[in-house]
Structure 1
Amino acid sequence: MSNSVNFKIWTICMIQKEDKVLLLDRQHDNFKGFIPPGGKVEFPESIVDSAIREVKEETGLEVCNLIYKGLYEYVNPVAMDRYMIFNYITKDFKGELLEEPPEEKVVWVNIEEAYNLPMQESIRRRFPLFFEDGTFEVQVEWNHEDNKEGKVTIKNT
């Protein structure tokens, strides 16, 4: 029996323009709701390069000057899985939004109104943390038996 941990790494990049953020209105598979652009880190690319690439692929925008906001991770001690999501925010971008984005609709949403939109719980939990000073770390321990979130620990630094 192996004791090695299975790591999977993703990124999310919140794009802010004045009092609005760019969100994807994702209405397919098990991850429905409004989410920031992001996705899997492809080996051997860097984590920041992955965030930049994912934004370009999903929105058409070129982002720069990403600010690291925090780490969101799921750990499953039974399956020995650790899923790490590196979260960034930026106000620096150029380009035009894709007319037919791959992830459904791309929309600018007022930050205050975004709190009322349907979101995955993991996005809703960290959404306000993007706009606070400092960084955050959120760890969710997965309840393997019930196949749902268990203990949630949030730290702000």
Structure 2
Amino acid sequence: MNYKVWTLCMIQDGDRVLMLNRNHDHFQGYIPPGGKLEFPESPVEGAIREVKEETGLDVRNLRFKGIYEYVNEKARDRHIIYNYLTREFSGELITESEEGNPEWIHINELEFVPMQTSIRRRIPYFFKEGTFEIHVVWDEGEKEVHIRET
């Protein structure tokens, strides 16, 4: 079994959130800051590090919002993404990042900006009470074949 663990951190400032306008590789569109964990850091430590690297901001008091995972049963791959929300940050926002340029987007406009389905599916859960779990099964052609949201 091949496990990969990632983080994602939605940073909210009033009625805006910070997104990266990603224009490279297969993962294009707007995405909150985040990335792969480095061993042996915890998911929170990884999220804090990734936000700093991609935005220049120092985040604190991250609130766990849920898990998004996708599996490929045939390849025995499992990707787990820990999702966080914070409204507490400091530091100087950088203007350019290797992962995409940071931009503040009004929450009501998120439905109109380009982003991958996996990100768009999670957006509403960040602003609801409680936590979420989304489990997606992929086939060999990397197409979704089953989705369970709770």
Which residue matches 2:149?
Answer: 154
Cα offsets for 1:47-97 (capped at 9, x unmatched): 100000000000000000000000000011111111000000000000011
- The TM-score, its normalising length taken from structure 2, stands at 0.98
Distance in 2 separating the partners of 1:6 and 1:150? 20
Change (3 A) 1:52 1:80: same
8 Å CA contact 2:96, 2:102 repeated in 1: no
Kindly, what percent of the aligned residue pairs are identical? 57
Cα offsets for 1:127-150 (capped at 9, x unmatched): 111000000000000112x33111
Structure 1 ranges of 4+ moved more than 4 A: none
Cα offsets for 1:15-67 (capped at 9, x unmatched): 00000000000010000000000000001111100000000000000000000
Distance in 2 separating the partners of 1:117 and 1:99? 19
2:118 equivalent to 1:116: no
Q: Match for 2:21 among 12, 19, 25?
A: 25
> Cα offset for 1:101?
1.9
2:70 equivalent to 1:92: no
2:99 equivalent to 1:125: no
8 Å CA contact 2:7, 2:43 repeated in 1: yes
Bigger-Rg structure (1/2): 1
Q: Which moved more, 1:124-133 or 1:146-155?
A: 146-155
* Long gaps (5+) in structure 2: none
Which residue matches 1:9?
Answer: 5
Which residue matches 1:60?
Answer: 56
- The TM-score, its normalising length taken from structure 1, stands at 0.93
Which residue matches 2:133?
Answer: 137
Letter in 1 for 2:147: V
Which residue matches 1:104?
Answer: 100
Distance in 1 separating the partners of 2:124 and 2:100? 24
* Long gaps (5+) in structure 1: none
SS in 2 for 1:51: helix
Letter in 1 for 2:52: K
